[in-house]
Amino acid sequence: MNRRRFMGALVGGSALLASGVAPGREFTPGQDYRQLIPRVDTGLPEGRLQVVEVFWYGCPHCYTFEPLVNEWSRNLPEHVDFTHLPAPFNDLWTLHARVYFAAEELGVLDEIHQPFFDAIHAQGRQMRSESAVLRFVDQRGLDADAFREAMRSPEVGAAIGEAGLLVQAFQVEGVPSMVVDGRAVVSAGMTGSHEGMLRVVDHLLEEYA
């Protein structure tokens, strides 16, 4: 999906837990997902649905969820657009959001996204400063100077501001969360597991089609 078109419309895991959502059961608003009233405009044409995963690179639950949601997203129908949205809840989260948007701006998101997750969670790197991020970028064989400029650019600054507005409009309280067509928020806290989140999202995509 075109993230800027979507944002402009607004501005302008783990093993299945015992309490997880069981396949084939009915899903209830307020219990399995939270409805967004009013709906957040996705900016997509009629007939297209959107799923947004709100995340933070430093979140261990997001790291566990990432391979599951990546596999799930490969099998989405043609009319569904899936995207990530880094949540800039505080200074550290904002730094990590800058990494995401700078990589997107430079067209190297595929080379940064999972490796940055891995650096934090598999390698124990803190990534709490711009200098730490740029060392990581350089070690990936990318242009650290260009990445610094992108992180500091007005375009990435605007993307951070827009992301903050979206997270607020989505009423997201924790990560990972999935927002379906600007109408509903799904979290593991409600479904009991990451697998349960995806089952509820699948149900909502069928309901909203």
- The amino acid occupying position 85 is L
What the block records as the tokens of 120 is 């934090």
pLDDT at 7: 52
Q: At a CB cut-off of 8 Å and minimum separation 6, what does 52 contact? A: 82, 83, 84, 85, 166, 170, 178, 179
- The alpha carbon torsion through 33, 39, 43, 45 (nearest 10 deg) reads 80
pLDDT at 26: 83
pLDDT at 24: 56
Domain ranges of the chain: 30-208
Q: What residue has token string 């209830």?
A: 28
pLDDT at 23: 53
Count how many residues are written for the chain: 209
Residues (pLDDT < 70) of the chain are: 1-25
Q: What is the C-alpha end-to-end distance of the chain, expressed in Å?
A: 17
Statement: 30-208 belongs to CATH 3.40.30.10: yes
Could you report the per-residue pLDDT of 6-19, keeping only the tens digit for each?
454 444 433 333 33
- The amino acid occupying position 186 is V
Q: At a CB cut-off of 8 Å and minimum separation 6, what does 176 contact? A: 53, 54, 55, 59, 61, 62, 65, 69, 187, 188, 194, 197
Cα distance between residue 116 and residue 39, in whole Å: 32
What values do phi and psi take at 11, rounded to 5?
Answer: -70, -40
